[in-house]
Structures are given as structure tokens and as C-alpha cells.
A and B are shown apart, each in its own frame.
Chain A
Amino acid sequence: EIVLTQSPGTLSVSPGERATLSCRASQSVDARRLAWYQQKPGQAPRLLIFGASSRATGIPDRFSGSGSGTDFTLSISRVEPEDFAVYYCQQYATSFTFGPGSRVDLK
């Protein structure tokens, strides 16, 4: 099983600042089948990024994904108030596993 670890556990930022979240896989993720989801309290997860770097439909361009192999990054160029949430990475190359999540909260 591919195990995903995410860091930091919590990132405190001010609106307008840049946020960078990391996702590391225990083994290489084939074909960059790595996704990022955003989840707000009481809501279902929402797909942000698929294929490591492609934005899902309707996702603002302040969200970007990068990486390959075992190291992936989600960046929010300028955090908006609606971006405070928990972010999960997921690999879907070999079965399906999710990371533990990274919380982005208000500094």
C-alpha cells in the first residue's frame, strides 16, 4: 500500500499570503496519479487538482499543483478567506489512499 504523509499538519496564514502544502508518498506514484481535495467543515471533499498539476473544473488559478515520483506540492498563491480548510492528497495509481490532511487556518 502506498502511504501518504502530509506536512505541515497545520499552516497558519494571513489572507493574501502564499500557502505551500507538501505530500510525500512511500513509493513512486505512477503517471502522476495524485490528486488534491479541499474539505470545509460539514462539507464533502472537493476535487482541486488531478494528475498532480491539472486544475479541476471551476477551480481558481491561485491553486496549483506540482511534483512527481514521491514528492508533491499544492500551492495557493494568495490565500482568500474561503480557502481556510483541510486539504487532502490522494494517490489513485495503486488502489486508492489518502493522506492525513493539512489544515490551513487563519493566523
Chain B
Amino acid sequence: EVHLVESGGRVVQPGGSLRLSCAASGVIFDDYALHWVRQAPGKSLEWVSLINWDSGRTFFADSVKGRFIVSRDKSNNSLYLQMNSLRPEDAALYYCAIAAGDGAFDMWGQGTLVTVSS
């Protein structure tokens, strides 16, 4: 079983940048996909990005496309989200999640909080 721990969330000014990390313990197989999902306070869940663990191919929600970059480091089982040109609407709890089976999000971290405010 894979366990996920996010870090890196903090207060950042609009227009600023931030890099989130997600450390995974356990074995991540090549056919897994790792996702970032965010949740603004009191709101539903919003999918942000996906990276295929094997190929490194990435996908993004339209709301972050061109501003966010996702990467992974297989040598230390880590996932990263580089967030640039941050906007107030990017403020949320950011979760990393893993899809190991048919594509549903089997395991989630506990999240890291991003606040965008001047």
C-alpha cells in the first residue's frame, strides 16, 4: 500500500510561485497515475493535474494550464507541483492522490494548504 504525504503549502502573494511536494512510501508501479486535486474551503473537489508515473506524460485542468507544472522523481518516489502566477482562486487544500487500478483515486494524502493573499 502506498502512503502519501504532501508539503510546501504556505501563504503566497498573488502573482507569486510555490512548489508543492508529495512524498510516497511504498511501491509505485509504472502503470500508476499520480494526481493533484484541490479543495477550496467549504467547496467540492477540483482535479488539477495528472502525471503518468512511467512515461512522465502530464495533463492539466484548463484553470491551471500554462501556469502549473507537474513532475515526478522516481528515484525518491516524489511528486511535485510547481505553481506559478498564483491567483486568489488557487487558494485551497491541495491533495496528491494515486490511481492504481481502473483510474479511480485509490489513495490520498492529507493535503497541504495554499493561501494566496496580499
Contact = CB atoms under 8 A, between A and B. Distances in A.
B104 A92 contact: yes
Interface stretch (A18-26, A43-51, A68-76, A77-85): A43-51
A46 B103 contact: no
B106 to A, nearest CB: 6
Interface residues of A, number: 21
A54 to B, nearest CB: 8
Contact of B45 (A45, A50, A56, A92): A45
A97 to B, nearest CB: 7
A74 B106 CA distance: 17
A33 B106 contact: no
B30 interface: no
Nearest to A6: B44
B105 A37 contact: yes
Contacts of B106: 47, 50, 56
Contacts of A45: 45, 95, 105, 108
Interface string B76-113: 00000000000000000001000101111111111100
B101 A50 contact: yes
B35 A96 contact: yes
Nearest to A45: B108
Nearest to A92: B103
A92 B102 CA distance: 9
Given A44-B95, A44-B110, A44-B111, A35 B105 contact: yes
B44 A33 contact: no
A33 B103 CA distance: 8
A90 interface: yes
A56 B1 CA distance: 13
A88 B104 contact: no
A98 interface: yes
B24 to A, nearest CB: 14
7 contacts: A45-B108, A46-B108, A50-B102, A90-B105, A96-B47, A96-B50, A97-B47
Interface of A: 33, 35, 37, 43-47, 50-51, 56, 88, 90, 92, 95-101
